[in-house]
């Protein structure tokens, strides 16, 4: 499936990264010389995306300045300076700027190493995996052993058919949500206008047997604290070599 639209969730406060985020928005914090959001934007552009909505709140002017200069995508700003909308509210607000379309959704502060030029990328694999007749959402997931900076907690259990359920201790195939989704924007047509957590829609999809997951090929990185920047850079050097 060819997907040309996307949204990147980038409006968070980055409180655990203070004092760095006192003066810089978290998505613009550099890891291995590159802003965290640039990993997400480059990955989307490499997968054939042409248009992306990015929501902004914390140090919004810096974010807008950076996004206006990003050369590879048409960027549409979803302005949350009046108030944060949380993950679900921010996504619903931003997707209204794109209309009814199948989209990638990514977090601005999570990325992975392992996509290779000339090979199908993880996002392209996720797009091909998504089947709207059976799925509300397809989530990119990763085994906890293939992560850097993660707290060790699993989010879901992934069965052999690709169904996701909430993780319980002892489940056979624990996975972490890797911060990338394929879905149709119409799924959120009934969303409330105020702030809410996207987990509401994850749980609704689970209840209907329509939340699916695809395991990441590569290594997933999250940066939540100042100390985690060095850990992430060490992992990037090790894996790229």
**Tens digit of each residue's pLDDT (9 = 90 or more) over 63-81:** 999 999 999 999 999 999 9
Q: Of 172 and 106, which is predicted with more confidence?
A: 106
> Residue 241: pLDDT above 80?
no
The model's confidence at residue 202, banded by pLDDT at 50, 70 and 90, is very high
Cα gap 161→87, rounded to integer Å:
27
**Range 16-20 average pLDDT:** 90
**Range 176-192 average pLDDT:** 95
DSSP-derived 3-state class of residue 216:
coil
How much is the pLDDT for 123?
A: 97
| Token output for 120 | 């199908």
Judged by average pLDDT, the poorest of 37-41, 88-92, 146-150, 237-241 is 237-241
**Range 26-40 average pLDDT:** 94
C-alpha closest to that of 194 among 43, 52, 93, 49: 93
Average of per-residue pLDDT values in the chain: 93
The model's confidence at residue 114, banded by pLDDT at 50, 70 and 90, is confident
C-alpha closest to that of 49 among 107, 112, 1, 93: 1
Overall domain count for the chain: 1
pTM of the model: 0.92
Helix-helix angle 36-46:122-129, to 10 degrees: 60
CATH number of the domain bearing residue 213: 3.90.550.10
pLDDT in tens, 44-66: 999 999 999 999 999 999 999 99
Q: By percentage, how much of the chain surpasses pLDDT 70?
A: 100
Local structure of residue 59 (DSSP, 8 states) = T
Q: Of 172 and 198, which is predicted with more confidence?
A: 198
- 63 lies in which domain range? 5-240
């Amino acid at each position: 499936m060819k997907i040309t639209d996307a949204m990147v969730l980038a409006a968070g406060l980055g409180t655990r990264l203070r004092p760095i985020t006192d003066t810089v928005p978290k998505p613009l914090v550099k890891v291995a010389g590159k802003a965290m959001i640039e990993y997400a934007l480059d990955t989307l552009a490499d997968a054939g995306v042409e248009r992306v909505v990015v929501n902004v709140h914390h140090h919004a002017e810096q974010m807008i300045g950076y996004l206006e200069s990003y050369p590879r995508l048409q960027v549409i700003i979803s302005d949350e300076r009046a108030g944060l909308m949380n993950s679900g509210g921010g996504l619903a607000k931003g997707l209204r700027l794109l209309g009814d379309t199948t989209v990638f959704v990514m977090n601005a502060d999570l990325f992975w190493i392992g996509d290779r030029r000339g090979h199908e990328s993880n996002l392209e694999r996720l797009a091909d995996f998504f089947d709207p007749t059976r799925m509300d959402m397809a989530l990119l997931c990763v085994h906890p052993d293939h992560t850097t900076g993660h707290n060790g907690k699993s989010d879901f259990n992934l069965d052999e058919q690709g169904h996701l359920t909430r993780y319980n201790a002892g489940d056979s195939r624990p996975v972490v949500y890797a911060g990338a989704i394929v879905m149709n924007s119409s799924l959120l047509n009934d969303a409330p206008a105020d702030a809410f957590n996207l987990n509401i829609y994850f749980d609704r999809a689970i209840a209907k047997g329509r939340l699916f997951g695809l395991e990441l090929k590569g290594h997933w990185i999250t940066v939540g604290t100042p100390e985690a920047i060095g850990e992430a850079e060490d992992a990037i050097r090790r894996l790229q070599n």
